[in-house]
Amino acid sequence: MPSTQPIGIFDSGYGGLTVLKEIAAKLPQYDFIYLGDNARAPYGSRSFETVYRYTLECVQWFFKMNCPLVILACNTASAKALRSIQQRDLPQIAPEKRVLGVIRPTTEIIGTFSMTNKIGILATSGTVQSNSYPIEIEKFFPETEVFQQACPMWVPLIENNEHHSDGADYFVKEYLDLLFQQSKDIDTILLACTHYPLLKNKIMQFAPGKKIVSQGEIVADSLVDYLKRHPEIEKKCSKNSEMVFYTTDSTQDFDNHASIFYGQKVNSKHLEL
């Protein structure tokens, strides 16, 4: 068992690095372990049962790595696995540990960005099917109308480093058109997949004048606040500014791709699950 108690950050692949980047900027003193389950990504089109099983397996690994707190920096895992893990598994396997997601902190604040009270959610098919965003936004902003559009081609484009290509233009425009067909009064678009910030410039190009919101900063601010409100968890988190990266697939591929998401060079280790 490692001597440090890092905060675990999880994603199906690279997307969570866009969240980790913002978290590390706001909480540089803490230790972090990132795990990308690249060998089994994408999660976006998988069933509830499969996303739950994969996510739980990864969460259990974080616990073995001594993490007192794990953030699911993946909307699909947050939508399909978080509640079962929090309510069913944690009380049995690790009642003293915490697992948090990215949907709740985002839905608590997203309504404040819109003037028309019409928000567009762009996400994986899994997140859209779960209906988590409309359900949660309704709790905090009942007057806000939520329109969802699944963008199943975006994660593969990004994972294959094709997000600057003309092919990406085609698919960005296609899904935005489908979103605006639902309501042209949408003034705020939430990138509800942690991969999508890499497409932000293209999305802005095809949705001029709209507010495009990514989650990294929102989740980071919410974690800062959480640690203040939960000193019993905060004091367990070790603080040596250590950052360790793991992938369930090839470390070479991970290191080559990760810097696009994280903005810095990364040296990952392999995890066989």
Q: In whole angstroms, how close is the CB of 235 to ligand DGL at the nearest point?
A: 30
Q: How far is the CB of 50 from ligand DGL (least distance, A)?
A: 11
SS3 content of the chain, % helix, strand, coil (to 5): 50, 15, 35
Minimum separation from the CB atom of position 124 to ligand DGL (A): 5
- Name the catalytic one among 58, 67, 151, 193: 193
**Shortest gap between Cβ of 16 and ligand DGL (angstroms)?**
7
**Helices (runs of H) and strands (runs of E) counted in the chain:** 14, 10
Of 17 and 33, nearer to ligand DGL (C-beta) is 17
Q: Which of 58, 67, 74, 151 is catalytic?
A: 74
Is residue 35 within 8 A of residue 59, CB to CB? The reply is no
Distance CA 176, CA 151 (A): 9
The answer to whether residue 74 is catalytic is yes
Q: Which is nearer to ligand DGL, 86 or 117 (CB)?
A: 86
Residue closest to ligand DGL, measured at CB: 44
- Pair 207, 173: CB distance under 8 Å: no
Q: How many C-alpha atoms does 227 have within 13 Å on its Cβ side?
A: 20
Query: Site residues (CB under 6 A) for ligand DGL?
Result: 11-13, 15, 41-44, 74-76, 124, 127, 155, 193-195
The residue (of 14 and 141) whose beta carbon lies closer to ligand DGL is 14
Question: Which C-beta is closer to ligand DGL: that of 6 or that of 197?
Answer: 197
Query: Six-digit token pair at 127?
Result: 């997140």
End-to-end, the C-alpha distance of the chain in Å comes to 17
SS3 label, residue 100: strand
Q: Give the relative orientation of helices 16-26 and 251-262 as an angle to the nearest 10 degrees.
A: 60
Q: Which residues are catalytic?
A: 74, 193
